[in-house]
Amino acid sequence: MKSGKRNLVEKLSGAEGLSFLKNFPLSSLTAIGTGGRARYYASVERVSALQKLLKELDGPFFILGSGTNLLLSDRDFPGVMIHLGRSFRRLRQSEGKITCGAAVPLARLVERAVAASFAGFEELSGVPGSVGGAAAMNAGTHIKELGDLVESLCMVDTSGRRRFFSKGQLRPSYRSSLAPVPGVITTLTFLRQPGGDPERQRGRALELQNGRKLKHPWQEKTFGSTFKNPPGMIAAKLIDQAELKGFRIGGAQVSPKHANFIENNRGAGALDILELIKHVRRVVRTRFGITLEPEVRLVGFTREELGELAPYAVSPPGKV
Ligand SMILES: Cc1cc2nc3c(=O)[nH]c(=O)nc-3n(C[C@H](O)[C@H](O)[C@H](O)COP(=O)(O)OP(=O)(O)OC[C@H]3O[C@@H](n4cnc5c(N)ncnc54)[C@H](O)[C@@H]3O)c2cc1C
């Protein structure tokens, strides 16, 4: 039988590779700067500890990567916020293969892969976040997504079972998880594809990074693209054409630099940002008849707060 949250923490707090912090503040862990306190913040250092945790857990939980694609409610999170610790930051390279922990920053993977002439990784240059988060979002650009490069994925599913999925079993689709089942992604492997040339790849990576600096409000607090691009269209263009650049609700503003980014530039609360997302969506629908779908993960809001965004929210909290 699974135990309740209080018993769970008492029961597991001595487990090796698992530590809990109570009432842990989350806002500094999200790039946009929102979030309340997590009832428990679980730092995991071993796969076996993660298995125990997921097996016992029956309350709400959520996996926190680097927090670059999240809008967390400012309400306290009533469950367990799971975070993979340092031991998931290992990256091993053998001839033709990279094995990478899910907590490795994507930038580090890209750098190593390019240096070892793994073709294609340069196209992900400048995408922030962790490798696990990138796998959970199939992060990338219109040219390359992480799913194009992954050879296999290891994870622990929500019942605590270790699972292995090879390339053919993954589910690569636009900005949704590569994992075929819910759970915590722990390790990914990548094989070297032909056509790599570190010098050319580094040049391309630099070009992309410079392009991002010009186009994105990289000095502001944001969560990257607010909306997915509708098929054959670009969300930023629609928002721009709807003359919403610079539009503000409270401390949240549609970026004057890139219309699909929202900036938290005056101490916005999560609800300011949520209202701004809804407003942009309504205006674009009224002007062009197109309903934009959020790319950012909305976590911890009530159905009333979410309104028409409810179908897109992570619900119930913790089901990744
Ligand atoms: C300035 C800026 C630019 C950006 N540009 C891009 C871009 O060009 N392309 C793009 O695709 N994205 C972009 N993003 C969004 C973001 O960087 C990516 O989605 C990133 O991959 C998220 O990784 P993360 O570790 O921050 O995940 P988080 O934001 O922490 O989490 C995102 C989702 O992944 C889940 N998750 C995280 N780790 C795991 C894990 N180990 N196992 C299972 N689930 C997990 C979380 O539960 C959540 O649902 C940008 C963001 C910013 C702030």
Structure confidence by residue, pLDDT tens digits, 13-52: 788 999 999 999 999 999 999 999 999 999 999 999 999 9
- Count the residues in the chain: 320
CATH 3.30.43.10 assigned to 5-87: yes
DSSP state of 309: G
The structure tokens 């689709």 sit at 173
Atom of ligand 1 nearest to the CA of 216: 1
In this predicted structure, the answer to whether residue 7 has a pLDDT above a threshold of 90 is no
In this predicted structure, the answer to whether residue 289 has a pLDDT above a threshold of 80 is yes
pLDDT category, 1, cuts 50, 70, 90? very low
In DSSP terms, 77 is beta-bridged to: 38
Complex ipTM > 0.90: yes
- Name the residue ranges covered by the structural domains of the chain: 5-87, 89-200, 217-312
- Of all protein residues, the one whose alpha carbon is nearest to atom 4 of ligand 1 is 224
Q: What does the alpha-carbon distance between residue 169 and residue 150 come to, in Å, rounded to a whole number?
A: 11
Note the pLDDT tens digit of each residue in 68-111: 999 999 999 999 999 999 999 999 999 899 999 999 999 999 99
- Mean pLDDT, rounded, for 224-233: 97
Note the pLDDT tens digit of each residue in 127-163: 999 999 999 999 999 899 999 999 999 999 999 999 9
**Mutation pick for ligand 1 pocket among 28, 53, 64, 69 (CB with most ligand atoms within 8 Å):** 69
pLDDT at 248: 98
- Of all protein residues, the one whose alpha carbon is nearest to atom 12 of ligand 1 is 139
CATH class of 217-312: alpha beta
Cβ atoms of 203 and 167 within 8 Å: the answer is: no
Pick the CATH number of 89-200 from 1.10.40.50, 3.30.300.30, 3.30.465.10, 3.40.190.10: 3.30.465.10
Which residues approach ligand 1 with their CB closer than 6 A? 31, 62-70, 84, 102, 127-130, 132-134, 136-137, 139-141, 184-185, 216, 218, 222-224, 297, 320
Atom of ligand 1 nearest to the CA of 102: 41
pLDDT at 6: 56
Q: In what helix (H) or strand (E) does residue 166 lie, and over which residues does it extend?
A: strand 162-166
In this predicted structure, the answer to whether residue 5 has a pLDDT above a threshold of 90 is no
In this predicted structure, the answer to whether residue 2 has a pLDDT above a threshold of 80 is no
From ligand 1's centre to the CA of 68, what distance in Å?
5
In DSSP terms, 99 is beta-bridged to: 92, 189
DSSP state of 247: -
From ligand 1's centre to the CA of 179, what distance in Å?
14
* Active centre residues (catalytic): 175, 225, 295
pLDDT at 234: 97
Cβ atoms of 270 and 74 within 8 Å: the answer is: yes
Q: What does the alpha-carbon distance between residue 203 and residue 195 come to, in Å, rounded to a whole number?
A: 15
pLDDT category, 206, cuts 50, 70, 90? very high
